[in-house]
Structure 1
Amino acid sequence: MKDWFGSSWHEFFLPERLRAVDDHIFSDPNGLSLIKESEAVIEKIITRVLENGPVKGTQVYKKNGRTFKLRLKVSQKRLSLMCFDTHLSPSAIKKRIVITIARQHSYKPNGKLMKEGLVYYMKNGKSHVRSIQKSPFFHGITEKLLQLDSALDGHAPTMVTGGTSATLETDSPSKNQQSEQARYEQAIRSLSHHGFDLPQALANRLDTLLDELSSLIPSLHLLSIEDRHQIKRMVNEDIPFLLEAYQDLDEDSQSAQMSRLYEALTKMEITLQHLQEHDHQAKHDRFEYLLKLNEKRYSNREDPPQ
């Protein structure tokens, strides 16, 4: 049970489905088995789709294992996953996980990429429902769903991570994550070249924006899936398309639109500053989690003799 000082005070007033799931539900090997098994099934579906080509129309994929069951429905607009422990699962707390994400081709910039992220479970004879949207345990499974989405659209998956275990055991990025960081760093360097052709005020604003981006890249793997998606879109689409469109204008039009471009770059910078705050909070939350895990593992040890 969470204590008052160990979590955000406002969570005590939220409906159950909006409260973040307690770490201990998934922090033991049996608790993680459902997530790991689901990741493996989605990985096989990705491989099948890449081998057989894109699939059109609504599809339903099922896995009926001995200790867990999974159902994944793919529609034009969404991917809907449901997986749950069977009565044969060794997990002490039987769970049912429901995740729904928007297909990337239908994702609206101001919308939420994860439409639903809940876990249902029984504990002490009572049923509970909690949100998993911000849980680090689900970064891997959510990214695999996004990879599947790309594969279904005929694109090779571009977001590859070290999976659940990498997310939980280390703050250091995996080799694949390091490669992704290198691609972002190269893209940011390319964007900086646009500054040579801009008025000084815009060039300075662009430099500040790119500095904010560069400071976030090393911690990219610690951010939420929606924050990473926003950064990816900003680097690959929003900034370059906006700058190229501005530079295609004639000189008079550039002068007339300069203030609007300045404002647009400023808004993106403010957005990144908010993401920096999320990054700091994620690091703080991880530290708190590791402290609690440490206390749980070593709480029964006898104090050393004085």
Structure 2
Amino acid sequence: MSFKEKFIHYEWVQPFLPNYMKPLQEPRIEEDSTSLMVHETEEFLSDLASLSELPRMNKTFKRKIKGFMLKVKIKHKKLHLEMLDSKRSSASIRKRIYITIYRKNIKAEKGLGKCIDATIYFNVDGRNMVRNIKHHPLFRPVFLHLHMLDSSLSGSGQSHPTQSSLSYEEPNEHEMNVSTLQEADKNELHTEIKKLDQRYQKMNQNIYAAFTLMKKSITRCIEDFDLLDIEERHQVKRIIVKEIPDLLGTYQTLPPQQKEETEHEIILAIEKMDRFLKKITSSLDSNRMERMNHLLRVNKLRYEDKE
């Protein structure tokens, strides 16, 4: 923390600061919904940083999750992050968070991209508030992952491919790490599915039958995990790691009468997830064709005879 930043944290100084520079000191913001938003933002930024062919500029990525929306804007000079509570948010205090940093190759501060905006907007007791979150411990992981995304982008090569860049090169460490992580993800998800199958195979026969059908769609998604886009990977992971265990695990804790009453709704919920997964798998063939066309175009550029 610089001397200027330390100075503005003194209590006697803060009444003289503009609102956007005053440090956040509202304990009611530190609730479960905010912690979930921070966690999902970390995951979103991590997913973006793991992509091996991520565009380096002028691209916007969005992720909508029940209760809030996340947006990342990648530009040549800056990275911009928005974290917004929606109308469906369970938060007691609705908030809007905006963070903007310079790309570290444009303007750096202690080796990291300089932060030029870190504000949170919220309403407390009928008053609209604006505060600074740059050094708030709850949001520190978000800044860390934003800088990691910047580092990933900075190491992704040229922004516009040239003829020379189409020639073969040994995979660099970053590309090898991405490939290893993707393979690890697939193995982990396969393991989770096996665990779920063992855990629920003795439960209600009709529910297990619906789960077995959905498992085929899940397996297909895992096998072609590298062809899925960011949002599809996120949804597949969420279904396997969180939604299925939460749904079926809670069902198993119900007394017999309530199990009988909710059986049909549980089956419908599983079928909805299965339909969503089938939409993903149906797009895989078109993704393969797009990839094949891309490879053919690259092949033509590499090996076409020069007149």
The normalised TM-score by structure 2 is 0.47
Greater C-alpha Rg: 2
The normalised TM-score by structure 1 is 0.47
